[in-house]
A and B are shown apart, each in its own frame.
Chain A
Amino acid sequence: MEIVLEQIINGLTIGSFYALIALGYSMVYGILKLINFAHGDFFTLGSYVGYTILVFGSAFLTSHCGLWGGMIVAMVIAAICLALVGITVERLAYRPIYPAGRLPAVVSALGASIFLQNAIMVIWGPRYQAYPASLIPNIHIQMGALHITLLQIVILVFSFLLMGILYYIIQRTLFGSAIRASALDRDTASLMGINFNKVIFFIFTLGPALGAITGVMVGMYYRQISFTMGWNYGLKAFTATILGGIGNLPGAMFGGLILGLLEMFGGAYISAAWKDVFVFLILILVLIFRPNGLFGEKLAEKV
């Protein structure tokens, strides 16, 4: 029983990483119908920025803010940096290409992804980087046979908090309804006085910022980061987005959590080596029987 509970907690932790990255994909897809391949690299870059802050600001951070404070500071700075990077990439690589249609934008996104990934390699080097263990809170919790770390719980709570905030913004505020309206029909939304550029600005700051925070959390959780990890996480997060129904934000969150759980249980009870195969197989099976994702609405075909 404790093992199952532990698997669930581990699965939810990984799932919340996927969910937070998936939100970035889903927002951009919902508004622009663009698969933003660079998003995985925003996540990696965020992780590296957080790493740099923790390594070079370690003395200052630990003396002034404490371990947990240092962690928060790293996340906030990484989020701000990546919001700037996100908006820059949007201006330089995507905005000039919108009029040309969807597919050129996909190539541009792939180009941006290759650029960012190699920029990271050039700046921080091609080797794995390790998050400094002394700067990460390391408190174990033992409840019977259940064995988890405090960090894990904090990550879980924090992720769910972020998802909750985003859910609130999108579903309950006026600006959120402007975003949903733009996703539904861009032209009509503009005619109703919605500033489309503001919406784009919002999704390209918030998406990468969430990605960056996730990057720092992943760095703390796994302790090591590499410049290519964006591909893997990006692919999984994109899978989660589709699993939940593309462009559907609550769907993306659930998709991420489900994917994390599937991966954990597949790895634990079927085979660790085949767990990713298992994940993609489930994805394909879901799409065969529910072609619009688990939570996607049935769309009438436009002719």
Chain B
Amino acid sequence: MEDTRISKLNSFFSPQQGTLFAVLGIFVIYPFAANNYYIDVAFFFGIYALLGLSLNIVLGEVGLFDLGHAGFYAIGAYTTAILNTKFGVPILVLLPVSAIAAALFAYLVCSPIIHLRGDYLCIVTIGMGEIVRLSLINNPFDLTGGPNGVFGIDFPSLGSFFVIDSSIEYYFFIWIVVGFSILALIRLQNSRIGRAWNCIREDEVAANANGINVRHYKLLAFVLGAAMAGIAGNIYASKLMCVSPESFSFMESCLMFCIVLIGGMGSIPGVIIGAAVISLFPEIFRPFAMYRMLIFGTVMILMMMFRPGGAWPRRRGGADIKSVLNTWRKNG
């Protein structure tokens, strides 16, 4: 059994195994070669990668149009910001707390709307995201600080000997989180849950007929996606040391949506590429100053023109019979 698992990993990576190690090497060496500015650029690349991966669960795996994902991101960031500044809870303790807060919010908000289809779900998630943002601006119970946001968020630390406070440490922090998320997501893709999700994406009626609890699995996707976005929010808040509502606008949700589609729906390496396009291109085009977003828009159109399935589309792996048999045996 162990063998099949390894060979499965091998079959996932084998053509790119060399490239994978090269990429990992570059990731480790990069911060020692770059200056702080470029390390921060790579940090935000990591944040977008995490956000892209989180939306990929909802949009890529299950095919639910979610254009309000910034709402979950905001919940995570503001949970961290408020609990840290008002009650002095350490950031690393708040990491799971933010994830749970965002997940709980997703569960409560999505339960009544999960039966909506396609574009109707899309507009409801847009509305949800906007409600979160507008509520933050309106400063309910004097918690969110209105349009200015919350200031003075701590560095993540464990006692006084382990403090994440430099660009390079943040860089490794975010990319280690992204790395663990990727491992978890690969495992999830090849699990019962992942197959149920893909089945719902391909044909909801057929999935229902096959005994998949569609409602349950859709909610699960939203909850997991929100939890990951909440984690991204936590790290983002501690990095910037302040959060404000305009970081969580509709535009941000649209960018996450584009990350998934530019990369390829449901494809993990694709999402990383998508995040690279979205976060690095505006930096690359910085010399063009005010024209850079013009170029950015054009790049988005061109990407869709020449690679409509995404930069790295998900391979539709036929389930190899051995692993299917193994799963059956395992589940009795």
Contact = CB atoms under 8 A, between A and B. Distances in A.
B300 A276 contact: no
B152 to A, nearest CB: 25
Nearest to A271: B138
Interface residues of A, number: 49
B299 interface: yes
B296 interface: yes
Nearest to B306: A96
Interface in A99-130: 99-101, 103-108, 110-119, 121-122
Given A103-B265, A110-B254, A280 B291 contact: no
A29 B123 CA distance: 13
B262 A280 contact: no
Given A107-B262, A231-B251, A284 B304 contact: no
Interface in B305-321: 305, 308-309
Contact of A108 (B115, B119, B304): B304
Contact of B261 (A104, A115, A119): A104
Nearest to B308: A100
Interface in A245-303: 246, 273-274, 276-277, 280-281, 283-284, 287-288, 291-293, 301, 303
B298 interface: yes
B290 A110 contact: no
Nearest to A290: B120
Chain B CB within 10 Å — which of A100, A118, A231, A288 has the most? A118
Contact of B297 (A118, A242, A283, A292): A118
A114 B295 CA distance: 9
Given A106-B261, A291-B117, A284 B297 contact: no
B171 interface: no
Contacts of A159: none
A93 interface: yes
Interface stretch (B40-48, B92-100, B128-136, B237-245): B128-136
Contact of A110 (B258, B265, B308): B258
Contacts of A108: 300-301, 304-305
Contact of B296 (A101, A114, A280, A293): A114
Given A231-B250, A277-B138, A288-B113, A111 B124 contact: no
A118 B126 CA distance: 22
Nearest to B289: A122
Given A107-B262, A231-B250, A112 B297 contact: yes
Contact of B293 (A96, A114, A280, A293): A114
A288 B127 CA distance: 13
Given A104-B261, A277-B138, A291 B120 contact: yes
Nearest to A289: B112
Interface residues of B, number: 43
Interface class of chain B by DSSP: helix
B308 A97 contact: yes
Contact of A104 (B250, B290, B297, B304): B304
Contact of B134 (A37, A116, A274): A274
Contact of A288 (B112, B250, B291): B112
Contacts of B291: 118, 122
B119 A110 contact: no
A115 B157 CA distance: 42
A100 B205 contact: no
B257 interface: yes
B176 interface: no
B123 A287 contact: yes
A238 interface: yes
A29 B124 CA distance: 17
A268 B258 CA distance: 38
B28 interface: no
Contacts of A281: 127, 131
Contacts of A29: 119
Nearest to B249: A231
A101 B265 CA distance: 13
Contacts of A93: 301
Contact of A291 (B115, B135, B294, B309): B115
Chain A CB within 10 Å — which of B251, B262, B305 has the most? B305
5 contacts: A115-B297, A118-B293, A242-B123, A281-B127, A291-B115
Q: 4 closest Cβ contacts across the A-B interface?
A: A111-B300, A100-B308, A115-B297, A114-B297
Given A107-B304, A118-B290, 12 more contacts: A97-B308, A100-B304, A100-B309, A104-B261, A104-B309, A113-B297, A114-B297, A121-B290, A239-B127, A287-B116, A288-B113, A291-B120
